[in-house]
């Protein structure tokens, strides 16, 4: 074989694996540049991990699957790696770590490590056919993989003992995201769980929130999962901001989300106290005047909920009803912005048929799946890159030891 390992995908997981798996390595990517998602992530500063990485921050049909890889290559290991390469960072909020400089520093680090390891990287190249090389003709005793590559220099055949799939998920097709890993997984008899856009803005019909576009506030948002206390942003098309992106990973078409617009306050107590002190203030103006919600949102809800009169006109019951509406605002999104803007793909290659220790296929020896293509999806906040690093290291360690 001319290669020990061929890695498809020169993104976060593929480069990390190439730098550590040893032997003769070829990395293949169809993009013009490697790791473009690292480059644009975190507003150009890459939120590369989180101080608080626990398996509960990952969604999967098997919530235990990510445990092993995350425990064996942790956020502290990646932080050490950055320190060795002189990359400095800072914590923004909720344990999220960002580069002090540009994300490109992480790409350069990975490329330097790949070069040092002697890994070859070929860009603008796709694998048009993948065939298991077998002694008996049975795919499950594969001794390696033959690939037809198609790139700027035309077609060529390559062979390797091991094949690592690291081509990511379907989010942001404009950047070259494809469902390629799922197709290869299916070719080798793997199941793929239902995939859907996640960490994605939610849309509403009839320009419902267009007049509020640009308004932001702290909120608590829950779909069919845990509540998230982060910023909520009104957009021309609907709702966005970290609280919405997080909840979107737990939302399904037709279902409601519940928004608490004043999570830091006891809205009923605040309104009652104000009724005694500033009873002549209009009900609508008291919502922003008391710091419960921004003025533009108060005006919008004042019309939508037909809020009339002064504070002094309101009974305890009316104030309680209003407080309940502010803290349990039930909304039914018409959809999401889809893969066009989703940060990640929820679902993916079924973990039931992958070793959680090595990321190797249980069906097909020598075939590995790492990164976002696997059915492991992190919350917003650096968790998805940590999964890319940890799953890549699980495979790389197993390959290096083989």
Contact residues: ligand FDA, CB under 6 A? 8-14, 28-31, 37, 40-42, 46-47, 126, 166-168, 171-172, 176-178, 180, 343-344, 371-372, 382-385, 388
Minimum separation from the CB atom of position 27 to ligand FDA (A): 9
C-alpha to C-alpha distance for 137 and 160, rounded to whole angstroms: 17
Q: What is the DSSP letter of 33?
A: S
Chain-centroid distance, C-alpha 209 = 25
Minimum separation from the CB atom of position 155 to ligand FDA (A): 15
Residue among 29 and 350 whose Cβ is closer to ligand FDA: 29
Q: What is the DSSP letter of 115?
A: H
Minimum separation from the CB atom of position 31 to ligand FDA (A): 4
Minimum separation from the CB atom of position 92 to ligand FDA (A): 10
Residue among 11 and 347 whose Cβ is closer to ligand FDA: 11
Tell me the CA distances in angstroms from 374 to 38, 135, 142, 391, one per residue in order: 18, 29, 22, 9
Residue among 171 and 351 whose Cβ is closer to ligand FDA: 171
Chain-centroid distance, C-alpha 138 = 37
SS3 377: strand
Minimum separation from the CB atom of position 122 to ligand FDA (A): 10
Residue among 40 and 400 whose Cβ is closer to ligand FDA: 40
Tokens of residue 132, six digits: 């298991």
Minimum separation from the CB atom of position 12 to ligand FDA (A): 4
Is residue 28 within 8 Å of 48, Cβ to Cβ? no
Residue among 180 and 209 whose Cβ is closer to ligand FDA: 180
Residue among 168 and 347 whose Cβ is closer to ligand FDA: 168
String of DSSP letters for 208-277: TTGGGTT-EEEEEEESSS--EEEEEEE-SSEEESHHHHHHHTT--TT--EEEES-TTS-HHHHHHHHHHH
Burial of residue 55 (CB within 10 Å: 0-12, 13-18, 19+) is middle
Strand partners for 202: 239, 336
Closest CA to 341 of 126, 174, 210, 204: 174
Is residue 162 within 8 Å of 7, Cβ to Cβ? no
Residue among 160 and 284 whose Cβ is closer to ligand FDA: 160
Residue among 343 and 350 whose Cβ is closer to ligand FDA: 343
Minimum separation from the CB atom of position 244 to ligand FDA (A): 15
Is residue 256 within 8 Å of 331, Cβ to Cβ? yes
Residue among 145 and 383 whose Cβ is closer to ligand FDA: 383
Minimum separation from the CB atom of position 175 to ligand FDA (A): 7
- The rounded radius of gyration (Å) of the Cα atoms in the chain is 25
Residue among 211 and 338 whose Cβ is closer to ligand FDA: 338
Minimum separation from the CB atom of position 291 to ligand FDA (A): 31
Side by side, the strands of the sheet bearing 47-50 are: 47-50, 96-99, 89-91
Is residue 363 within 8 Å of 353, Cβ to Cβ? yes
Is residue 237 within 8 Å of 337, Cβ to Cβ? yes
Name the closest residue to ligand FDA (Cβ).
Answer: 11
Give the Cα-Cα-Cα angle 207, 240, 320 (nearest 5 degrees).
80
Minimum separation from the CB atom of position 297 to ligand FDA (A): 27
């Amino acid at each position: 074989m001319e290669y020990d390992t061929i890695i498809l995908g020169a993104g976060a997981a593929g480069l990390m694996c190439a730098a550590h798996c040893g032997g003769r390595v070829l990395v293949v990517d169809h993009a013009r540049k490697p790791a473009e998602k690292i480059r644009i992530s975190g507003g150009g500063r890459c939120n590369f991990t989180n101080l608080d990485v626990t398996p509960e921050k990952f969604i999967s049909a098997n919530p235990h699957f990510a445990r092993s890889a995350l425990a064996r290559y942790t956020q502290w290991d990646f932080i050490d790696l950055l320190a060795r390469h002189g990359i400095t960072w800072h914590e923004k909020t909720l344990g999220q770590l960002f580069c002090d400089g540009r994300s490109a520093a992480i790409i350069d680090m990975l490329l330097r490590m790949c070069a040092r390891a002697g890994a070859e990287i070929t860009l603008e190249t796709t694998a048009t056919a993948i065939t298991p090389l077998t002694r008996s003709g049975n795919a499950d005793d594969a001794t390696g993989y033959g690939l037809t590559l198609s790139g700027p220099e035309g077609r060529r055949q390559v062979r390797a003992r091991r094949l690592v799939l690291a081509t990511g998920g379907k989010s942001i097709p404009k950047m070259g995201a494809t469902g390629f890993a799922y197709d290869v997984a299916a070719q080798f008899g793997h199941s793929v769980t239902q995939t859907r856009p996640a960490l994605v803005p939610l849309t509403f019909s009839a320009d419902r929130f267009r007049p509020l576009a640009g308004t932001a506030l702290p909120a608590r948002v829950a779909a069919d999962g845990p509540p998230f206390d982060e910023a909520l942003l009104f957009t021309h098309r609907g709702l966005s901001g970290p609280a919405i992106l997080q909840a979107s990973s737990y939302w399904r078409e037709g279902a409601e989300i519940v928004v608490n617009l004043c999570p830091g306050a006891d809205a009923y107590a605040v309104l009652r106290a104000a009724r005694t002190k500033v009873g002549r203030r209009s009900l609508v103006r008291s919502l922003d005047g008391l710091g419960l919600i921004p003025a533009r949102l108060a005006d919008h809800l004042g019309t939508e909920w037909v809020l009339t009169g002064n504070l002094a006109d309101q009974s305890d019951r009316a104030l309680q009803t209003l407080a309940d509406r502010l803290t349990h605002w039930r909304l039914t999104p018409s959809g999401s912005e889809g893969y066009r803007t989703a940060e990640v793909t929820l679902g993916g290659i079924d973990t039931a048929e992958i070793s959680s220790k090595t990321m190797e296929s249980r069906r097909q020896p020598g075939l590995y799946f790492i990164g976002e293509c696997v059915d492991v999806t992190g919350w917003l906040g650096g968790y998805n890159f940590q999964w890319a690093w940890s799953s890549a290291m699980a495979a790389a360690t197993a390959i290096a030891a083989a």
